Amino acid sequence: MINGKRIIILAIFLLLIGIIGMVATFSSYKQSAFYEESESIPINANEINEIEVDAENTEIHLQAANSEEPRAEYTATGKKIKDQEILTSVDGDKLTIQIEETSFSFFDLDFLFRSKATLKIFVPEDTIDKIKVKTTNTKIAAVHLQVDELQLHTSNGRIEGEDIETSLFNLQSSNGKIELDNIQGDTNVRTSNGKITLENIIGEVKANTNNAKLTLDSIQGNVNVETTNGKVDLQNISGEITAKTNNAAVSIAAKGFDYPMNLETSNGKITIISNKKPENATFDLRTNNGTIRVFDSKDWDITYGNGETLIKAHTSNGGITIE
């Protein structure tokens, strides 16, 4: 009986020590959450024309500079101040910025206080030829940029781009959506388990995702898109269209039938809505289990005019409608 009481007393004592430790840790986290530190990273435009960023758990912002010199600013709040290290190096005309995690904790209260690290890079027009950015578990945002080549890569985070002029734009994410608006340049987009939304793009577009929807609007260039288990919704495309999905629908809103279309899905319907009827096109429409209606009729012409523009739509277990 006495031993039992001793065990209970010891357990209570250890519990009190644990509670005191948790309170102290919580207080330390709470206090550090309001700390903020910044560091400026100079970039010599006369020596550097390529920037590469390899970061961990750091939000990246690329934007136009209000001066003639490019620059970078790193800001950390809370626990990130002591948990990250910045390394810079120059190789020829390329500046490399690395942001590494220096510690790991099994017991972490970051989810309560939202410690955060952000790297902002300010780029004047016609100063940097190439920018390559890679980060993890957070987003990348790029706005008002003019650069020859732009590569953005994140995991478990989204990518946003707006008002960008480039020759080649490559974007890749996983488990995050990608949104672009007002882009000049050929654009390649790839993500998984994330929605893709592209608007007002001048240039060729390639987009690939899975388990999510693809939406494109106002594209001046050829389009090649593919997804699985997600709808494809395309509007105002001035160029050839190749669109493929499964277990979902394909919807096209076109101004006419001036460009070839190659549309394919399984277990989904295909719909093409146009402002005018074709004048010089061939319809290749096939379904294994569904109805085909062309301009409100089940009896439709295969060839219009000389039939030079091929409109191909194939599905299984779904109907095809052109109106």
Q: Is residue 70 part of a domain?
A: no
Estimate to the nearest angstrom the gap between the alpha carbon of 191 and the chain centroid: 7
Secondary structure (H, E, C), the chain = CHHHHHHHHHHHHHHHHHHHHHHHHHHHHHHHCCCEEEEEEECCCCCCCEEEEEECCCEEEEEECCCCCCEEEEEEECCHHHHEEEEEEEECCEEEEEEEECCCCCCCCHHHHCCEEEEEEEECCCCCCEEEEEEECCCEEEEEEECCEEEEEEECCCEEEEEEEEEEEEEECCCCCEEEEEEEEEEEEECCCCCEEEEEEECCEEEECCCCCEEEEEEECCEEEECCCCCEEEEEECCCEEEECCCCCEEEEECCCCCCEEEEEECCCEEEEECCCCCCEEEEEEECCCCEEECCECCCCCEECCCCEEEEEEEECCCEEEC
Note down pLDDT in tens along the chain; length 323 residues.
556 666 666 666 666 666 655 544 444 444 444 567 888 888 887 888 999 999 998 999 999 988 888 889 998 887 666 678 888 899 999 999 998 888 655 445 454 446 788 999 999 888 889 999 999 989 999 999 999 999 999 999 999 999 999 999 999 998 899 999 999 999 999 988 899 999 999 999 999 999 899 999 999 999 999 988 899 999 999 999 999 999 899 999 998 999 999 999 998 999 999 988 999 999 999 999 999 999 888 877 789 999 999 999 999 999 999 99
Domains identified in the chain, total number: 1
Strand partners, 143: 63, 162
pLDDT at 79: 60
Q: What is the pLDDT of residue 112?
A: 46
Confidence at residue 4, expressed as pLDDT on a 0 to 100 scale: 64
Q: What pLDDT, on the 0 to 100 scale, is given for residue 38?
A: 82
Tens digits of residue pLDDT in 145-172: 999 999 999 999 999 999 999 999 999 9
Task: Please indicate, yes or no, if residue 71 is contained in any of the structural domains.
Answer: no
Residues 6+ apart with CB under 8 A from 121: 51, 53, 60, 61, 62, 63, 70, 71, 72, 131
pLDDT of residue 14: 65
Residue 89 lies in a domain: no
In this structure, are residues 291 and 319 in contact, taking their beta carbons and an 8 Å threshold? Answer: yes
Asked if residue 186 is part of any domain, the answer here is: yes
Parent domain of 230: 177-323
The answer to whether residue 100 is domain-embedded is no
Within-domain flag for 266 = yes
pTM to 2 decimals? 0.85
pLDDT tens digits for 274-309?
Answer: 988 999 999 999 999 999 999 888 877 789 999 999
Integer Cα distance of 315 and 8 in angstroms:
71
First CA to last CA across the chain, in angstroms?
A: 88
In contact, 150 and 164? CB cutoff 8 Å: yes
Residues 6+ away with beta carbon under 8 Å from 142: 61, 62, 63, 150, 152, 159, 160, 161, 162, 164
Residue 37 lies in a domain: no
**Residue 140, in any domain of the structure:** no
- Model pLDDT, residue 115: 74
Q: Which two tokens stand for residue 56?
A: 């961990």
The span from the CA of 29 to the CA of 94, in Å, is 38
pLDDT at 34: 52
What integer pLDDT is reported at residue 11 of this predicted model? Answer: 66
Tokens of 284: 């290749």
- Class of residue 318 by CB neighbours under 10 A (exposed 0-12, middle 13-18, buried 19+): buried
